[in-house]
Amino acid sequence: MPSYPHHLTGEGPLNPFPGIKVLERRIGREIPHRLGSNEGLDMPHRALREHFGDAVAEHVYCYGDAEALGVRQRLSAQQGIPLDHLLVDAGADSLIALALRTTCTPGDTVVSTAGTYPTFGYFAKGQGCHLVEPSYVEAPGLLAPDLEALAAAAHQENAQLVYLANPDNPSGHLHSDSAILKLRDALPDTCWLLLDEAYGDFRDDANSDFAAKALPGVIRLRTLSKAHGLAGLRIGYAIADPDVLALMMKVRIHYAVSTFTQAAAEVVLDHPTEVHQHIAEVKARREQLAAHFQALGADVLPSATNFIGIRLPTAELAERVNRELLEAGRLIARPAHPALGHVLRITAVADALEPGQLAILEQAIKENA
């Protein structure tokens, strides 16, 4: 099994401020008189009440439930994930940083594909890790993380952790469940697999039994930013064995997820029909976008996400198109990593389907087809 930094073994550290919700669960009753914390302050919040309604006051008074029990209960019930296999934190980005804090120390080697979701490398370097980046596999109709190269690099560099986004960002490529298990088996026993499944809700098999499993030596990350539309509130969750999550809780910022964020997430999770409808509409728009640009002669990459990737002939062309679109008030995405500078990413929102909205890109494709 992969190891933890030595300072996480033993009894501590322990969260010194578990919060009122956790304390209430421990003693089995409500604590109505908050005389020893900021949660009892007598701020009237007249302005907030006027703007948002009276219900907001309780949310802004109180620290968030450090265990996010209500959110975890709903995720567990809807997805069949055992409650003790879930940890909620402030979005997938925060979970990436948390996983690195739990598993790595400065000087450790970590591996990810060159050009994949850049926040992983940002956090890894910020923690003092040595980042090794194998290239994508590129072929007609294919731009995908090279799982064999990731495993080989992990062995050659004695890596502590390998990061993989699946479905990938920004290519949209989806590796099969069997490929993920094969990768885990191919990694050194002492190496972690950090599996970022932020776009997993847009997989056609998103509700499979495999999606609900905690995998040995793997920390799976998901988010409520995409399918649930809560990007601005910052909330996501990890799936792992309980002993792994217990170690993550030791180094977690315990009030990172606010009371208001948790309440909003619970409301959205209580209305899954709206979420499912949104996912279906996104998939339909994704296919419309792909068909539209394919008809123009574009190299559209297969996608299991809420976006499409378009591979242009050169990075210079992609940079120019991206810049001209931005100057025209149209924001798409172009990876910052030079390895994928020739790729443009367009989210499948209704605005992207408006005639003429992406005319600059359409003209460039026609001229270079």
Residue 35: HSE in the Cβ half-sphere, 13 Å Cα cutoff: 2
Give the C-alpha separation, 293 to 296, whole Å: 5
Give the C-alpha separation, 163 to 213, whole Å: 18
Query: Taking a C-beta distance cutoff of 8 angstroms, is the pair 237, 222 a contact?
Result: yes
Residue 237: HSE in the Cβ half-sphere, 13 Å Cα cutoff: 30
Q: Is the pLDDT of residue 17 over 70?
A: no
Q: What is the pLDDT of residues 120-171, one digit of tens each?
A: 999 999 999 999 999 999 999 999 999 999 999 999 999 999 999 999 999 9
Give the C-alpha separation, 121 to 119, whole Å: 5
Q: What is the pLDDT of residues 29-55, one digit of tens each?
A: 887 765 455 555 566 777 778 888 888
**Structure tokens belonging to residue 218:** 């793997």
**Structure tokens belonging to residue 88:** 């909620």
Close Cβ partners of 87 (under 8 Å, ≥ 6 residues apart): 95, 237, 238, 240, 245, 248, 249, 252
pTM value is 0.90
For strands 343-347 and 142-145, give the pairing.
unpaired
Burial class (CB in 10 A: 0-12, 13-18, 19+), 49: middle
* DSSP conformation letters of 341-362: TTEEEEE--GGGGSTTTTHHHH
159-163, 207-211, 291-295, 332-336: segment of lowest average pLDDT: 332-336
What is the three-class DSSP state of 86? strand
**pLDDT band (50, 70, 90) for residue 362:** very high
Q: What is the pLDDT of residues 165-209, one digit of tens each?
A: 999 999 999 999 999 999 999 999 999 999 999 999 999 999 999
Query: Taking a C-beta distance cutoff of 8 angstroms, is the pair 221, 197 a contact?
Result: yes
Burial class (CB in 10 A: 0-12, 13-18, 19+), 354: exposed
Query: Distances from the Cα of 227 to the Cαs of 193, 206, 234, 331, in angstroms?
Result: 24, 11, 13, 20
Q: What is the pLDDT of residue 34?
A: 59
Give the C-alpha separation, 74 to 80, whole Å: 10
